[in-house]
Chains A and B, each alone.
Chain A
Amino acid sequence: MDRWLHPALFYFIGALLLPFFRGKARKAFLLLVPVLSIIDVALMVEGVYGSYHFLNADLVFGRVDKLSLVFAWVFTIMAFLGALYGLHVEEDGHHMAGSFYIGSSLGAIFAGDYLTLFIFWEVMAFSSVFLVWYRREQRSIDAGFRYLLMHVFGGLLFFTGMMLYFFKTGNMVFDQILPANAGLAEYLILAGFALNAAVIPLHAWLPDAYPEATVEGAVLMCAFTTKTAVYVLARGFSGFEVLAILGTAMTVYGVFYAVIENDMRRVLAYHIISQVGYMVAGVGIGTEMAVNGACAHAFAHILYKALLFMGAGAVLYMTGTAKLSKLGGLYKYMPLTMIFYIVGAVSISGFPLFSGFVSKSMIVASAHEEGRLWLMTFMNLAGVGTFLSVGLKVTYFAFFGKESKIQPKEPPGNMLWAMGLTSALCFIIGVYPKALYVLLPFPVEYHPYTLSHVSEYAQILSFTGLVFFLLVGKLAPEDKMNLDMDYAYRKGTRIFMWFDEKVISVVDAFWGELYRRVGLALLFKNARISNGFDRKVIDGVVDGSAVAVRGVGSLVRKLQTGRIQAYIGLSLLMFFLILWLLIKGM
């Protein structure tokens, strides 16, 4: 195919057309969009497409190479699985938000310059937040606003860095940055990316918002935001030592919270931080094998983490709660959901024959090969925690353990099919890793299935299991929430509000009173004097210009109607402009 079609177009146009479909046609249409985009990605040929010269910068909408393609593959596959899982959702708006979110993620990974990347980056944040808000509970609405605020902050870091970078280099090209050349501009961009990758200490938005999202929305969110961030880090910042260290810290930090959390989906959300930590560390180590590992792990992780969120979501959907302290004994009522969840759990824990084993081990092995034994040790400790929290704790307390009074049914068929298909993919990648390895950006000379390697994982996992069953009483879930970095801004804003109420408004009131008593009296006196001057001298001069100003004013007033539909219309116009630019680049 010599013409290039941006896969984001399917999602943008699909979102706009969705309201015209009803019933079975609507379901077919929801599945057709991702299928078309998968075919589009399959037919793609490497190259640079859709470039424009705009505002002294070259915009590139389509940089197609191995690195962007591996992410495009998994994003479009995930979009299909997510659509299947959410097929029963009635609200068009929910699907549209999801489509814009997926489309803009694809836009971000194919962007070849900072400006294009930034636009899609922001659309991602503003569309995904609706997946939280559609839960329609006060907690979700609040969490959504915090999510948005943090992402706007991250976007500002990115934007400031981008502007500084433009002044420094005179271009907007987004490419590998050498650690030695990095200054303030590059580190600001890095911080903006790091926030989306939930790098500590900029991570708290993730476990705050994802567990409050809709059942179907969380499945999408866990796939796209952090992994787009991993892509941009791999593209621009591989070999940055700070990422190797923070990434490894993330792996342990995430499982630490996953061990103590009570809400199933919050356990999984914290665990995303841990998993993305492996990828960030891989990017930071920066060798070909490590970056390959980061990409492979992103690919495998999107599938099994989505699978886990699907399982936890199915439990929430059918029982109304995801709190482990209220669940138990579900294997009797949701055996299929349990099996699919366990497939996700063994995949993420790195059991041989499942996908995590062939991807995670690549990063750990690259740390080992580089002699970074501390990094390797902490990553393997996080591996222990992964199996302990996601594999054993959640499975035991939700599906086995003490029986609760809840007796749910299996979730709807489309949810089961989505989980079944995702499980199959996790298994296929595990037994046939070559299918994944050929997609990676660098040639792969890594063999996961060696005797010593299998033995290493068998020992770690088996003895983690042993200690879990010896200490299971200590892990009983509790009806508690755990403090995290969001404390700073959640309590911090309260201190600010208190300060505003008690100090600023008191001073303001005092100042107002002072002004009323003293200032106004002086002002009136002053006014009487200047009034005379004004009437006699100024009027003559000003009259002419006043007429001119009034003329301009009425023109501006016509533009600025203050009507919401006019603003929406204007936004749509902007949207179509971007769409047109994309289509023109085909």
Chain B
Amino acid sequence: MIVKWIDALRNNLKTLVRVLIVYLVAVVVFDAALPRHGHYLIDKIPVYWTLFGAVGCFILIKVAKGIAHLFLAKDEDFYG
């Protein structure tokens, strides 16, 4: 059953992507509409965590993969 559902989703990727885009927009609109209260600057900027999530994820992937390729990644039998 579960497998069928997943296959159905995979066969309708376009619809799935559209639904997800609508969801993302809804998340942003929801936060923008929320009343702001808090002591700090980050509490007052609307959709601050949207930017944080997107930029943070981008930086993490780039930096981690970059450093790994620079010198961290070794062959699996490196230590013998």
CB 8 Å contact bits of A464-480 with B (1 = contact, 0 = none): 10111001001100111
Q: Choose one: B24, B30, B53; the contact of A460 (CB below 8 Å).
A: B53
- Flag if B24 contacts A462 (CB, 8 Å): yes
Nearest Cβ in chain A — how far from B60, in angstroms?
A: 5
Q: Choose one: B49, B53, B76; the contact of A480 (CB below 8 Å).
A: B76
- Flag if A463 contacts B64 (CB, 8 Å): no
Q: How far is the CA of A339 from the CA of B2 in the complex (A)?
A: 9
CB 8 Å contact bits of B34-66 with A (1 = contact, 0 = none): 100001101000010111111011101111110
With a cutoff of 8 Å between Cβ atoms, the chain A residues found around residue B28 in the complex are 459
Residue of B nearest to A454 (CB): B30
Output the residue of B34, B47, B51, B52 with the most chain A CB within 10 A.
Answer: B52
Nearest Cβ in chain A — how far from B44, in angstroms?
A: 11
With a cutoff of 8 Å between Cβ atoms, the chain B residues found around residue A478 in the complex are 73
Q: What is the interface residue range for chain B against chain A?
A: 35 or more
Q: How far is the CA of A463 from the CA of B31 in the complex (A)?
A: 13
Given contacts A331-B6, A459-B47, is CB(A464)–CB(B72) below 8 Å?
no
Q: Choose one: A260, A380, A452, A462; the contact of B23 (CB below 8 Å).
A: A462
A280, CB-defined interface residue at 8 Å? no
Q: How far is the CA of A366 from the CA of B2 in the complex (A)?
A: 40
With a cutoff of 8 Å between Cβ atoms, the chain A residues found around residue B78 in the complex are 481, 483
Given contacts A373-B40, A459-B47, is CB(A384)–CB(B71) below 8 Å?
no
A335, CB-defined interface residue at 8 Å? yes
- Flag if B2 contacts A335 (CB, 8 Å): yes
Q: How far is the CA of A407 from the CA of B51 in the complex (A)?
A: 40
Output the residue of A259, A331, A384 with the most chain B CB within 10 A.
Answer: A384
Given contacts A384-B60, A474-B61, is CB(A461)–CB(B53) below 8 Å?
yes
Q: How far is the CA of A482 from the CA of B70 in the complex (A)?
A: 11
Nearest Cβ in chain B — how far from A241, in angstroms?
A: 21
With a cutoff of 8 Å between Cβ atoms, the chain B residues found around residue A336 in the complex are 2
Q: Choose one: A371, A467, A480; the contact of B61 (CB below 8 Å).
A: A467
Which A470-523 residues have a C-beta within 8 angstroms of B? 471, 474-475, 478-483, 490
With a cutoff of 8 Å between Cβ atoms, the chain B residues found around residue A331 in the complex are 2-3, 6
Given contacts A373-B40, A480-B73, A482-B73, is CB(A459)–CB(B57) below 8 Å?
no
A256, CB-defined interface residue at 8 Å? yes
A353, CB-defined interface residue at 8 Å? no
With a cutoff of 8 Å between Cβ atoms, the chain A residues found around residue B2 in the complex are 331, 335-336, 338-339
- Flag if A455 contacts B31 (CB, 8 Å): yes
- Flag if A256 contacts B64 (CB, 8 Å): yes
- Flag if B72 contacts A463 (CB, 8 Å): no
- Flag if A256 contacts B60 (CB, 8 Å): yes
With a cutoff of 8 Å between Cβ atoms, the chain A residues found around residue B56 in the complex are 380-381, 384-385, 460, 464
With a cutoff of 8 Å between Cβ atoms, the chain B residues found around residue A371 in the complex are 39-40
Q: How far is the CA of A255 from the CA of B42 in the complex (A)?
A: 23
Other A-B pairs beyond A373-B42, A451-B34, A475-B61, 19, CB < 8 Å: A255-B60, A256-B60, A256-B64, A335-B3, A380-B49, A380-B52, A388-B60, A458-B31, A460-B49, A463-B50, A467-B58, A468-B57, A481-B74, A481-B75, A481-B76, A481-B78, A482-B73, A482-B74, A483-B74
Q: List 16 A-B contacts (CB under 8 A).
A: A260-B64, A385-B56, A388-B57, A455-B30, A455-B49, A456-B31, A459-B52, A462-B24, A462-B53, A463-B53, A471-B58, A474-B61, A475-B61, A478-B73, A483-B74, A483-B78
Interface set of B (CB-CB < 8 Å, partner A): 2-3, 6, 23-24, 27-28, 30-31, 34, 39-40, 42, 47, 49-54, 56-58, 60-65, 68, 71-76, 78-79
